Amino acid sequence: MPPYEPSAYPPFAVTVDLVVLTVRRHALSALIVRRGEAPFQGRWALPGGFVREEEDLSEAAARELAEETGLHAHGPVEEDTPAHAAHLEQLATYGDPKRDPRMRVVSVAHLVLAPDLPAPRPGGDVGGARWAPVETLVGPADDDEEHPPLAFDHRRILADGVERARSKIEYSSLATAFCPQEFTVGELRRVYEAVWGVALDPRNFHRKVTGTPGFLLPTGGTTTRQGGRPAQLFQAGGATILNPPMLRPEV
């Protein structure tokens, strides 16, 4: 191995970008923020920012999420977390030399999943924050408010995060991260329908999820919040891997 030469390794920065997904109005939605600074000032982007010298990556991701949106997150294996805290996990690393016009920047993207949340509270250096249906962000951009082109390579990062979520709810209990602490089978089914973008047979879905060991745990309560007859309430069971898996229908 040749000796280390500092001049051969120009400085570069590390950032975190956040794919924050929730289900709002029966649609899978992503959190986007309007950039308040150059480059791409005024453009919509994923929330995120530079990693500070004393931070590890998950700390930076959680800090940026709180600073830019007012949301709080926890990791996938933490216990005793608030009922409405968001699920946070590392997604992928993006290092194209030209992905940021300022300098060489490597981004470690994170996926954040949360139940239906109110309008985000923008903060930090962002000029606004809102939820947008993912289909308006990962499809062709029309350069308008309904189909905005995202800054940097954030469209690709968002698409990767959406596919991760769609795949993981097949074989894991992660779909419950989109639900409140107590939920009905119908509410869970609407999560699967929103994330996968398909319609599911209610009876078949009910049979599958209630028959999967450790997936759902009855709370003993019922609710009429969706109208009609009282529906049984469940909470997430102890299983993290579903056996058998909830296979995504072919479209």
Over residues 221-247, the mean pLDDT reads 92
pLDDT of residue 82: 44
Enumerate long-range contacts of 90-93, CB under 8 Å, 24 or more apart.
90/57, 90/58, 91/19, 91/157, 91/160, 91/161, 91/164, 92/157, 92/160
Per-residue pLDDT tens over the stretch 32-74 = 999 988 999 999 999 999 999 999 999 999 898 888 777 777 6
Rounded to the nearest 10 degrees, the angle between the axes of helix 185-196 and helix 202-211 is 110
The two three-digit tokens of residue 114, written as one number: 């949360």
Residue 73 · residue 62 · CB < 8 Å: yes
pLDDT of residue 78: 41
pLDDT of residue 127: 76
Q: How many helices (H) and strands (E) does the chain have?
A: 5, 10
pLDDT of residue 8: 73
3-state class (DSSP) for residue 159? helix
Rounded distance, CA 63 to CA 47, Å? 11
Per-residue pLDDT tens over the stretch 86-122 = 788 999 999 999 999 999 999 999 999 988 777 777 6
Total residues found in the chain within this entry: 251
- Print burial letters for 13-24: b (CB count within 10 Å at least 16), e (below 16): ebbbbbbbbbbb
Q: Architecture of domain 6-168 in CATH?
A: Alpha-Beta Complex (3.90)
Per-residue pLDDT tens over the stretch 174-227 = 999 999 999 999 999 999 999 999 999 999 999 999 999 999 999 999 999 888
- DSSP string covering 49-75, please? EEPPTT--HHHHHHHHHHHHHS--EE-
Which fold does the domain 172-236 belong to in CATH? Arc Repressor Mutant, subunit A (1.10.10)
CATH fold match for the domains 6-168 and 172-236: no
Q: Three-state SS string across 104-143, please?
A: CEEEEEEEEECCCCCCCCCCCCEEEEEEEECHHHHCCCCC
The domain ranges of the chain are 6-168, 172-236
The two three-digit tokens of residue 98, written as one number: 């030209």
In this prediction the pTM is 0.88
The two three-digit tokens of residue 140, written as one number: 């062709």
- DSSP string covering 192-228, please? HHHHHTS---HHHHHHHHHHSTTTEEEEEEEE-TTSS
3-state class (DSSP) for residue 20? strand
